[in-house]
Structure 1
Amino acid sequence: MTTPEQLPIDRAEEISRAWQREQPGLPVGSIGILTRIRQAAKLLDDERRRVLAVVAMDAATLDLLSTLRRSGPPYRLTTRELADRSLITAGAVTQRVDRAQGEGLVRRLPPEPGTRAVEVELTAPGHRAVEEAVGGLLTYEQGLVESLAPHEQDELARLLTILLRDLSARARGPRG
Structure 2
Amino acid sequence: MTAYPEATDDGTDRIQAAWRRELPGVPVGSIGVITRMWRLGQLLADDRRRTLERLGVDNPTLDLLSTLRRSGPPYRLTPGQIAARSFVTAGAVSQRIARAEAAGLVRRERSAADGRSAVVALTDEGRELNERVVADLLRHEETLLDGLDDAQRATLAGLLKTLLADLTQRFGAEDRPSAIS
Shift of 1:9: 2.8
The one-letter code of the counterpart of 1:90 is A
Match of 1:172 in 2: 172
More deviation, 10-19/137-146? 10-19
Q: 1:115 to 1:20 in 2, by over 3 A?
A: farther
* Mapping 1:4-83, distance limit 5 Å: 8-83=8-83
Partner of 1:92: 92
Gaps of 5+ in 2: 1-5, 174-181
Q: How many pairs align?
A: 168
Q: Give the fraction of aligned pairs with identical amino acids, expressed as a percent.
A: 48
Cα offset, 1:118, TM superposition: 2.1
Residue 120 of structure 2 aligns to a residue in which SS? strand
Structure 1 pair 113–159 and aligned structure 2 pair: CA distance change class (3 A) = closer
Deviations 1:82-117 (A, max 9, x none): 101111000010011111001000011124565754
Q: Distance in 2 between matches of 1:116 and 1:14?
A: 61
Ranked by relative contact order (alpha carbons within 8 Å, sequence separation 6 or more), the top structure is 2
Please name the residue that 1:154 is paired with.
154
CA distance in 2, matches of 1:22, 1:115: 66
**Cα distance in structure 1, aligned partners of 2:131 and 2:36:** 31
Residues 27-64 of structure 1, C-alpha deviation per residue, up to 9 Å, x if partnerless?
Answer: 01111111111110110011111111112100111111
For residues 113 and 154 of structure 2, the distance between their equivalents in structure 1, rounded to whole angstroms, comes to: 47
RMSD between aligned alpha carbons?
A: 1.7
2:166 partner letter:
D
Q: CA deviation at 1:8?
A: 4.8
1:79 alignment partner AA? P
Give 5+ residue unaligned stretches, structure 1.
none
Q: Which amino acid aligns with 1:152?
A: Q
Q: Contact 1:79–1:117 at 8 Å: present in 2 too?
A: no
